[in-house]
Amino acid sequence: MAIQRIKLAHIDYKSSLQGSYDKTFGKTKDRLRLKRFPEPDTTDFIKERMVPKLLERVQRTLTKDTILVCMPRKEGKLAPNVLPIKYTKLLSDIHNIPHIDLSDYLRVIQERSARGSYSAGERADNPFRISFNDTDTKQELLDKLSNKKILLVDDVITTGETSVVMATFLKETVPNIEIQGAHALAVVNNSGPTPRDIMRITEKLNAHLPKIDPNRIREDVHLALGSFTRKKAMRFEIGIKDLATAIMKYYDIKKDISKIQNGLGTSISEPVANKRANGINQLKETSTTYKHRRH
């Protein structure tokens, strides 16, 4: 089956639209999850962070026909994360606008959290698996979101990869959908990489790889990192230290673009069950190729 080529969706991570992040957020979330998100502790935790200034910023971003779209819960071993939908419902009530929960329509599987995966080599063995629950729910979602403006809502944004993958999936699946941005109760480093960040990373790579056209490097860097948060770009940049690491990082970029595009193409054209059955050999081949390239 031919994999369709997909343009990654650009997500706006305006710092003015995001909640603040501190060490207590992750620790409290983990504690609540271990207890399976008890009430009223879970709602109280969310409301404590819904400060007036944040709500005012969200209000200025919304239009009268915006729909709040809650990011779907990933299937896994841990208790399902209910923070996104609880937060989405609270925003919907406060601003008096409709909302939907993508978990009612989609299944999303990822074996491990994306938070620690900053290279294509790691993510090659940890792709997203997205599919509709069934034909009826697919049509219902298309009816609700076609020709609509939406704001994606999550509890926390780290690398931004989950938002980009979901936005790209929706844009490839739902006709004429307009994604106004991504909003979260908390964001680790509240912005995407700046043009200066992209240029600095390009210059570092080009210094070690002078035979590659710098314009080509800049385009690849922007495509691979431009839609994610600044933290992801900075973590990537730290690893560029010499010729060997520059080659590896540039290889990561090329594989990153290819794997995300191929993974999204597969997500849109294959059901989850088939991908689980058919994807093992592909992942092994990718991992083997990556290891050989390293040595």
Q: Is the domain of 123 the same as that of 261? A: no
Q: Is the domain of 216 the same as that of 159? A: no
- Domain annotation covers residue 117: yes
Instruction: Determine phi and psi for 286, rounding to 5 degrees.
Output: -65, -45
Q: Is the domain of 202 the same as that of 182? A: no
pLDDT recorded at residue 5: 45
Structural domain harbouring 220: 195-276
pLDDT recorded at residue 12: 61
- Domain annotation covers residue 286: no
How confident is the prediction for the chain on average, in pLDDT? 78
**Strand 178-187 and strand 74-75: pairing?**
unpaired
Of 153, 187, 221, which residue is a domain's last? 187
CATH number reported for the structural domain that contains residue 136 in this entry: 3.40.50
Q: Is the domain of 162 the same as that of 238? A: no
Rounded to whole angstroms, how far apart are CA atoms 210 and 14?
Answer: 34
Q: What's the average model confidence in pLDDT over 90-119? A: 80
What whole-number percentage of the chain has pLDDT above 70?
Answer: 71
What tokens appear for 140 in the block? 């219902």
- Domain annotation covers residue 293: no
- Domain annotation covers residue 52: yes
Q: Is the domain of 122 the same as that of 222? A: no
Q: Is the domain of 100 the same as that of 123? A: yes
Q: Is the domain of 181 the same as that of 199? A: no
Look up tokens 């090329």; give the residue: 254
Q: Is the pLDDT of residue 99 over 90?
A: yes
Query: Which tens digits make up the pLDDT trace of 110-162?
Result: 766 555 444 444 544 456 778 898 888 999 999 999 999 999 999 988 777 78
Q: Is the pLDDT of residue 222 over 70?
A: yes
Q: Is the domain of 91 the same as that of 165? A: yes
Q: Is the domain of 155 the same as that of 200? A: no
Establish whether the linkage from the previous residue to 195 is cis, with ω within 30° of 0: no
